[in-house]
Amino acid sequence: MPARLASPEEAVSSIRTGDTVLAGGFGLVGAPLALIDALVEASKARELTVVSNNLGEPGKGLGKLLRQGRVRRAVGSFFTSNPEVAAAAQAGELEVVLLPQGTLAEALRAAGAGIGGFFTPIGVGTELARGKEERRIDGVANVLEAPLHGDAALVYAARGDELGNLWYRKTARNFNPAMAAAARLTVAEVGELVALDEIEPESVHTPHVYVDLMTRAR
């Protein structure tokens, strides 16, 4: 279905307590800040699993949600940039699931691509491989990783067209395309809403089949 326009508040209104929310961005670059603000201010959903490379910064982006005590589990690769993550984990208020950054990206892609799981050599022999199935393939040790599905994905794109096709600018692309494809409900916050074909058909980064709702960046 083509995407429908909605306010940030409406766009996040179907996120429920216990849901898994995928949030794009590398640090704050490419992060859907209007949607995150709406989730912080207009949603009552608690006990969230948040999948994001980082968990914002103290009091910024997803860091606000953490301060509200609404994140039960954080799945990502680099939480060191927000010391409040360490504090919450220490206090037993937050479960942290750490993945190598490439495994995080690939697990999201796998979810979007209907892949049941994949073997990767990354992390073998480290603490992050603990409890994971290991298998030697063509002489190389691999671990089995599972796809990472979301109930909702919040992504940011510089441009979205009337159908919901998305185009990302420079390094703001990062995790956004993989996340857009990995959730049941995908909301795209767009910097600019453009007419059809203003995004060259060869340059569409996320085809509209992945986008349910669009909202304008503030």
Which residues are CB-contacts of 6 (< 8 A; sequence separation ≥ 6)? 187, 213, 214, 215
By CB under 8 A, tell whether 192 contacts a copy of itself. Answer: no
Question: By the 8 A CB rule, do 76 and 101 touch?
Answer: no
By CB under 8 A, tell whether 201 contacts a copy of itself. Answer: yes
176 binds, among other proteins, a copy of itself, none (CB under 5 to 8 A by kind): other proteins
By CB under 8 A, tell whether 121 contacts a copy of itself. Answer: yes
**Which amino acid, 205?**
H
Q: What is the Cα gyration radius of the chain?
A: 17
Site string for other proteins, 140-179 (x = CB under 8 A): ------------------x--xxx-x--xxxxxxxxxxx-
Buried b (16+ CB within 10 A) or exposed e, 176-210: bbbbbbbbebbbbbbbeebeeeebeeeeebbebeb
By CB under 8 A, tell whether 208 contacts other proteins. Answer: yes
In the chain, what is the greatest distance between 2 CA atoms, to the nearest angstrom? 52
Q: Using CA atoms, how far apart are residues 49 and 42, in angstroms rounded to an integer?
A: 18
By CB under 8 A, tell whether 169 contacts a copy of itself. Answer: yes
Q: Provide the binding-site residues for other proteins, judged by CB under 8 A.
A: 1-2, 26-27, 29-30, 53, 77-81, 85-86, 89-90, 96, 98-106, 108-109, 111-115, 120-128, 158, 161-163, 165, 168-178, 181, 196-197, 201-202, 204-205, 207-210
Q: Provide the binding-site residues for a copy of itself, judged by CB under 8 A.
A: 106, 110, 113-121, 135, 137-138, 140, 142, 146, 167-170, 173, 200-203, 205
